[in-house]
Amino acid sequence: MNGYKQEKHTVIALIRKSLVLGVVVFLSGSVMAQPTTLRIESVGGVDQRIPVAVPAVAFDDPALAPIAKVITDVLRSDLAYSGECLVLTESQFPKTFGGLTMDVNELDRDAWGATTAENLVYGNVHMEGDELVTQFRLFDLFSKDQLAGQELRVKQTFPRLAAHRFTEEVLRQLTGVKGMGSSEIVFSGGETGKKEIYIADYDGANVKRLTNHGSISIKPKVSPDGNKIAYLSYKDRYSFLYIFNRHTGESVPLSKEVGLNSAPAWAPDGQYLAMTLSKDGNTEIYLKNMDGTNARRLTNNKAGDTSPVFSPDGSRIAFVSDRIGNPNIFVMNVDGSNATRVSFQGGSSYDPTWSPDGKSIAYVAEKTGEGLEIYMMDANGQNPQRLTDTPGSNESPSWSPDSRHVAFMSTRRGSAELWSVTVKTGQQQPVSGLNLRSEGANWGPRRL
């Protein structure tokens, strides 16, 4: 949240709390006998989420009622999921509110301003030919001003995408950081002995299988532009790396070296990848161009070096090494120099993933009595923080494009499932609707 809006929201919360305190003093009947100075001892309990009203989207044709409901549900879900917004329930709407109309000028902003909401999302939907046309607006209920407006045109089969795109803008306006509603998650799905690469909306909708190898394909990683997916597969008997092109549906080899080929990681420019190879008798980290050419070795250590991941600016690589005994996380320059340990919470650490804002690294930690849990720390190794605390294993963390959430695999309910945790609130929830054993999540970019 930018400084002004953060301050405004905090002040509003304090005013509301002060009014409650004032009422208590007034009802005590001792106003005249008390000092006139009001002192607030603590504001630690103030909910910092921004109250937002999202009334049901208006439509001009009864046939669009189901689509309007889907759009409304996605708007509300995205904003609540962000951890930044407190979405009002319909019982908190104005008593006189009878529903939005297609004419935004009929919106009673004064009535909405009298609710607990600070902002309101208005939306309507209609058809033009075979296109679904949505019109969205975001209002500040204190100033009564419109903060943002978008008209979005999508195919009739993609109403969710329109809603996702607008919530990204709503969050940008309210917090200064764009949302991630239009992003997708790729993952490996299926039973033991046969796993394929799948993709779905971040919330589990629109699941689609991408590969059909009839083998084991795992650990997908999405390119920065979202168009290609690097992954490991045994489709040609051994563990080789491939790149799947979403436009053509074709998979081409990335690395088929003797020994282990694993852990592909895209550079931020999408032109080359880091990976783990054991062709020289030890697991080391290499760089290769996207077409598999120009291999460059980065590490040269008797211990094993694995699981590389680039910093967002491409200047550094985090990786896992057991050069000090237990596996731990190190960071080195992109040319392999100046390797420095950054994980110190004890036990072993695996699977680093760098947040898109460059500030944090999420990872898996295994400590005595804990099992496999998801942690995060500052990029320099400071301030480790535990994000999960559950039975079963929690593995393969991956950041959302807005750095607000971490997706991961969890076996807390028995079978391998995809879950996510919102960093700000600590809220954890499954990625619903996948309906298959799922692991190795990788969170892709926002859709263009």
Question: Is the C-alpha dihedral spanning 311, 355, 221, 182 positive or negative?
Answer: negative
What pLDDT does residue 38 have?
32
- Look up the domain containing 216 and give its range: 184-443
Report the CATH number that the domain containing residue 209 is assigned in CATH: 2.120.10.30
pLDDT by residue for the chain (448 residues), tens only, comes to 444 444 445 444 444 433 333 333 322 333 333 333 332 333 345 789 999 999 999 999 999 999 999 999 999 999 999 999 999 999 999 999 999 999 999 999 999 999 999 999 999 999 999 999 999 999 999 999 999 999 999 999 999 999 999 999 999 999 999 999 999 999 999 977 899 999 999 999 999 999 999 999 999 999 999 999 999 999 999 999 999 999 999 999 999 999 999 999 999 999 999 999 999 889 999 999 999 999 999 999 889 999 999 999 999 999 999 998 899 999 999 999 999 999 998 899 999 999 999 999 999 999 877 889 999 999 999 999 999 998 899 999 999 999 999 999 999 999 999 999 999 999 999 999 898 999 999 999 999 8
One domain for residues 143 and 266: no
Is residue 30 one of the residues assigned to a domain?
no
Is residue 334 one of the residues assigned to a domain?
yes
Helices then strands, each counted (H, E), the chain: 4, 30
What pLDDT does residue 371 have?
86
User: pTM of the full predicted structure?
Assistant: 0.89
Question: Is the C-alpha dihedral spanning 6, 9, 13, 19 positive or negative?
Answer: positive
The tokens of 411 are what? 């076996």
Domain end marker among 175, 194, 228: 175
One domain for residues 131 and 214: no
Give CA–CA dist 345/342, Å, rounded.
10
One domain for residues 104 and 205: no
Is residue 303 one of the residues assigned to a domain?
yes
One domain for residues 214 and 133: no
DSSP 195: B
Is residue 448 one of the residues assigned to a domain?
no
Strand order, beta sheet including 428-430: 394-399, 405-410, 417-422, 428-430
The tokens of 363 are what? 């990872």
Yes or no: say if 124 and 106 are a contact pair by the CB < 8 Å rule.
no
How many domains, in total, are found in the chain?
2
- Percent helix, percent strand, percent coil in the chain, to nearest 5: 15, 40, 45
One domain for residues 125 and 216: no
Give CA–CA dist 85/401, Å, rounded.
18
Is residue 325 one of the residues assigned to a domain?
yes
SS3 of 344, please? Answer: coil
Q: Average model confidence (pLDDT) for the chain?
A: 90
One domain for residues 200 and 143: no
Q: How far is CA 281 from CA 175, 277, 322, 323, in A?
A: 50, 9, 16, 16
Q: Which is it for strands 58-59 and 119-128: parallel, antiparallel or unpaired?
A: parallel
Is residue 33 one of the residues assigned to a domain?
no
One domain for residues 160 and 204: no
Domain end marker among 175, 192, 220: 175
One domain for residues 377 and 260: yes
Report the CATH number that the domain containing residue 126 is assigned in CATH: 3.40.50.10070
Residue bearing tokens 């529903």? 99
What pLDDT does residue 45 have?
59
Is residue 14 one of the residues assigned to a domain?
no
Domain end marker among 175, 210, 233: 175
Give CA–CA dist 290/4, Å, rounded.
44
One domain for residues 201 and 155: no
One domain for residues 200 and 170: no
One domain for residues 194 and 170: no
Is residue 348 one of the residues assigned to a domain?
yes
Give CA–CA dist 280/295, Å, rounded.
13
Q: Which is it for strands 184-189 and 438-443: parallel, antiparallel or unpaired?
A: antiparallel
One domain for residues 162 and 260: no
What pLDDT does residue 9 have?
54
